[in-house]
Amino acid sequence: MYAIVRSGGRQHKVAVGDVLEIDRLDDAVGSSISLTPLLLVDGETVTSDASSLGSASVTAEVLAETKGTKIRILKFKNKTGYRKRQGHRQRYTKVLVTDIKS
């Protein structure tokens, strides 16, 4: 059994026992969270109806807070003396999927 869940504007395919990185959440490490399922697949049965998914739930446990790789942004305009340097490092939350209920 697996599910497609939405988190942070992205969709992820998850099964029980999967560890994934999603956009940062404010929940504490060790707490349990619920993810919104968009699709459930159980063998031959595929559930994508909104009324059927109302009772479905995907539960995950927060494992850690992590950071992505450093991205360096350089802007330059010729002959004007304009230079700008920026950096960005995305923050993620690592979660473990513990249960999928249909």
* Residue 15 pLDDT grade (very low, low, confident, very high; cuts 50, 70, 90): very high
pLDDT at 94: 97
Mean pLDDT, rounded, for 64-86: 97
Look at residue 50 in the predicted model and tell me its pLDDT: 86
Mean pLDDT of 62-72: 97
Q: How far apart are CA 31 and CA 16, in angstroms?
A: 17
DSSP H/E element including 51: helix 50-53
Question: For the chain, what is the radius of gyration of the CA atoms?
Answer: 19
Q: For residues 29 and 61, is the Cβ–Cβ distance under 8 A?
A: no
Q: Are 99 and 59 in contact (CB under 8 A)?
A: yes
Give 34's pLDDT tier (boundaries 50, 70, 90): very high
Q: Where are the domains of the chain?
A: 2-101
